[in-house]
Amino acid sequence: MPHVVRLDKLLAGQGYGTRGEMRSALRGDRVTVNGVVTRSGAMYVNPSTDEVELDGEPIITAPAPVVMMNKPAGVMTATGDRRHSVVADLLPEKWRTRRLMPIGRLDIDTTGLLLFTDDGDLAHRLIHPKRLVDKLYRATLDAPITNEDIEAFELGVPMGGYKALPAKLERDPISSLAALVTVHEGKYHQVKRMFASRGRLVKALERLSIGPVRLDPMLRPGACRSLTHVEEQALRLSCGASGPDVGQPPPLLPPPPPT
């Protein structure tokens, strides 16, 4: 894993205050690095080896949790927008200051499982189609699916100049107008366009799981919680991401053949 980070980013990212508050702490000689007072937020430090203190107390550089949210409809998957409310507004303060970013994107009207992390490598691996991490959606449609739809999804449906990767389509046991679809990629309006190519309209879409992590049915819309240790380990293993107790990941792409 990396790790040098800008001092002001490290301080703000650990929940000790905003970047502005941390800048004024620096100006007030309240921050030391390896025992030396520093005023430069632009200084790079290694949280594993450098001792950073604020007001004489060592700052704790525990990794941020991976967080799951039950995204409600009407909220954009973004960290800021002038017209719409955004998912970042729904995160509790303690996680907003950790600069957690949504992993991938759900449309404004899509509901369900959205994960957040500050681990760029984990996020990248989960959205990379080569990793084949399953994303399971429940789609409510204008008409029931047919066996031909199931076969077409299995082969990969055309999506306007592009052929979708094979996807698993199943009937929802609860409603004849709903279907369960498992995809491995996350192109713009992926699921809606896949159904559109079969002449179906998606009236509602909910994401139920990402890899081994299922949406917690106890989470009301807009609520979130951190993943349990077991959930996070399973998630990291599913995409080969490193992390506590997981060890070193395999490379994202296979190495080139020897020449």
User: For this structure, is 29 an active site residue?
Assistant: no
Catalytic one of 50, 81, 107, 118: 107
- Residue from 14, 61, 97, 110 touching ligand URA (CB under 6 A): that is 110
Q: What residues have CB less than 8 Å from 28, skipping those under 6 apart?
A: none
**Residue 122 burial (CB < 10 Å; 0-12/13-18/19+)?**
buried
Looking at 191, 224, 235, 241, which residue binds ligand URA (CB under 6 A)? 191
107 contributes a contact to ligand URA by CB under 6 A? yes
At closest approach, how far in Å is the CB of 246 from ligand URA?
Answer: 27
Q: Which stretch binds ligand URA (CB under 6 A): 29-37, 117-125, 190-198, 239-247?
A: 190-198
Q: Is 106 in the site for ligand URA (CB under 6 A)?
A: yes
CB 201 → ligand URA: shortest distance, Å? 12
Q: Between residues 33 and 196, which has the closer beta carbon with respect to ligand URA?
A: 196
Asked if 189 is part of the footprint of ligand URA (rule: CB under 6 A), the reply reads yes
Which CB sits closer to ligand URA, 71 or 98?
71
How many helices and strands in the chain, by DSSP H and E? 8, 15
In the range 198-217, which residues lie near ligand URA by CB under 6 A? 205
Report the b/e string of 226-250 with b at 16+ CB within 10 A. ebeeebbbebbbbbbbbbeeeeebe
How far lies 103's CA from each of 36, 69, 100, 227, in Å? 38, 11, 9, 14
Question: Which residue type occupies 128?
Answer: H
By CB under 6 A, what part of segment 125-184 binds ligand URA? none
Strand 52-54 and strand 101-102: the pairing is unpaired
99 sits near ligand URA (criterion: CB under 6 A): no
Name the token pair of 103.
């992993």
Q: Could you give the CA distance from residue 41 to residue 56 in angstroms, rounded to a whole number?
A: 17
Q: Does 70 bind ligand URA (CB under 6 A)?
A: no
- What positions carry a catalytic annotation? 107
Residues that bind ligand URA (CB under 6 A): 106-107, 110, 189-192, 205
